[in-house]
Amino acid sequence: MTVPINPPVDETIAQAAAALKGGFLVGMPTETVYGLAGDATSDVAVARIFAAKGRPRFNPLIIHVADADEAAALAEVSPRAAALMARFWPGPLTLVLPRRADCPISLLASAGLDTVALRCPDHAVARALIRAAGRPLAAPSANPSGRLSPTCAADVAEAFTRDQVALVIDGGAAPVGVESTIVGLFGDGAVMLRPGGLPRAAIETVTGPLQDAGHADADAPQSPGRLLSHYAPRLPVRLNATSVAPDEALLGFGGSLPAGALVSLNLSPAGDLAEAAAHLFAMLRQLDRSGAKGIAVMPIPGDGLGEAIRDRLGRAAAPRGAAA
Ligand code: TXA
Ligand code: MG
């Protein structure tokens, strides 16, 4: 049986909240990508998320809260963490913080770490759902582990069965299009664990220069989910293409595209990185179905949201099965 897609009306929110309270999973729109949401305090619900995604158990989940007060009930919120929340929540910023001793989040959700990743989504449906469920929601991106992230309700419904997901709430296309930026606050350090929908420069106005995950203090917990091959279409991906073969699909950027591809899509004809991020996963999905032998991607600038776009494309192009 296929997964129903429902409009985001009060009745749907109530139905979805009831499913979540029963330990079942719901496809939830957020501003970044769609999430596969479950009760973060329930080991059963969290185990269902790992099983549905085929996700390795060592890779912890992001916990979604309705506001900063809810976050303070789960994690130790330092003044610096509070400043980041005040400035950027709700929004595409996830903070990895020490778990409070009385934190009710399933240990399975944090993969046994003594930290918890918290995010307050800037999406009316997501926040209404968290409030109606009355508990924090664990929600990884709603895609099978390693594959392209979902940016619309149909992507989610297509990827799972009715046994895995009770329903998907249709909040339209995800406006940001790439996952949240993850920052770890460990001791005095602020570490960029995953570039994402909130640009590095904005965060650094509060934290000062962020450390890179690779160069951070060896004792600091890192983001175990940074698998090298991830966000992958079925077709091979070739980066920084300046020309294209007749049997390749082209993912372009900016005003002038090389001619001769089997099929071409443009992330942003105007060269706008926010527009490119919003189109990234949907266009990769479309080109993946084009019948081409591979996807050639033009160079993308690295500033602003370009850091997150390059990160996702680099993983899409990495040798499959590779882990870092
Ligand atoms: O935008 C987003 O963040 C989306 C939407 C649905 O909210 N969610 C998302 O979740 O991207 P997911 O599960 O696909 O990515 C979670 C990332 C993984 O790389 C994981 O390793 C990291 O967060 N993570 C979770 N808990 C962590 C922790 N305690 N310490 C370090 N990294 C953590
Ligand atoms: Mg993901």
- For residues 199-211, give the mean pLDDT: 97
The runs of H, that is alpha helices, within the chain are: 10-21, 43-53, 68-72, 79-88, 124-133, 153-159, 200-207, 273-288, 306-317
- For residues 10-18, give the mean pLDDT: 98
Task: Give the closest residue to 136 by CA, choosing from 4, 209, 37.
Answer: 37
Please identify, by atom number, the ligand 1 atom nearest to the C-alpha of residue 109.
26
For the question of an ipTM over 0.85, the answer is yes
Task: Please enumerate, by residue number, every residue annotated as part of a binding site for ATP.
Answer: 55, 59, 115, 141, 149, 194, 231
- For residues 123-140, give the mean pLDDT: 98
- For residues 61-71, give the mean pLDDT: 98
Separation in Å, CA 15 to CA 7, 19, 53, 155: 12, 6, 23, 21
Give the pLDDT confidence score for residue 114 in this predicted structure: 95
Q: How far is the CA of 243 from the centre of ligand 2 (A)?
A: 31
Domains observed in the chain: 5-215 (3.90.870.10), 237-317 (3.40.50.11030)
Give the pLDDT confidence score for residue 229 in this predicted structure: 75
Cα-flanking dihedrals φ and ψ of residue 179, to 5°?
Answer: -65, 165
Please identify, by atom number, the ligand 1 atom nearest to the C-alpha of residue 182.
23
- For residues 285-302, give the mean pLDDT: 98
Please identify, by atom number, the ligand 1 atom nearest to the C-alpha of residue 149.
14
Share of the chain above pLDDT 90, in %: 90
Q: How far is the CA of 38 from the centre of ligand 2 (A)?
A: 15
Q: pLDDT band at residue 247, thresholds of 50, 70 and 90?
A: very high
Give me the DSSP letters along 255-299.
S---S--SEEEES-TT--HHHHHHHHHHHHHHHHTS--SEEEE--
Q: Which of 73-82, 183-192, 238-247, 257-266 comes out lowest in average pLDDT?
A: 183-192
Task: Give the closest residue to 185 by CA, choosing from 224, 215, 221.
Answer: 221
Query: Of the bound ligands, which one is closest to the alpha carbon of residue 26?
Result: 1
- For residues 239-256, give the mean pLDDT: 98
Structure tokens at 10: 């009060």
Give the pLDDT confidence score for residue 187 in this predicted structure: 82
Beta strand 211-212 with 137-138 is unpaired
Separation in Å, CA 236 to CA 296, 315, 316, 320: 9, 11, 8, 9
Task: Give the closest residue to 149 by CA, choosing from 139, 134, 138, 162.
Answer: 139
Q: What mean pLDDT, rounded, does the chain reach?
A: 94
Give the pLDDT confidence score for residue 16 in this predicted structure: 98
Say if ligand 1 is within 6 A of residue 267 CB.
no
Tens digit of each residue's pLDDT (9 = 90 or more) over 207-239: 999 999 874 444 444 555 556 778 889 999 999
Which residue lies with its CA nearest to atom 20 of ligand 1?
Answer: 225
- For residues 156-181, give the mean pLDDT: 98
Give the pLDDT confidence score for residue 320 in this predicted structure: 78
Tens digit of each residue's pLDDT (9 = 90 or more) over 28-50: 999 999 999 999 999 999 999 99
Largest CA distance in the chain: 60
Query: Of the bound ligands, which one is closest to the alpha carbon of residue 75?
Result: 1
- For residues 270-281, give the mean pLDDT: 98
Q: Are 64 and 26 in contact (CB under 8 A)?
A: no
What type of residue is 135?
R
Q: How far apart are CA 105 and CA 156, in angstroms?
A: 25
Q: How far is the CA of 141 from the centre of ligand 2 (A)?
A: 4
Give the pLDDT confidence score for residue 321 in this predicted structure: 63
Say if ligand 1 is within 6 A of residue 62 CB.
yes
Greater pLDDT, 293 or 215: 293
Please tell me what DSSP assigns to residue 202. Answer: H
Residue to mutate (ligand 1; options 179, 181, 228, 230; most atoms within 8 A of CB): 179
Q: How far is the CA of 291 from the centre of ligand 1 (A)?
A: 32
- For residues 143-159, give the mean pLDDT: 97
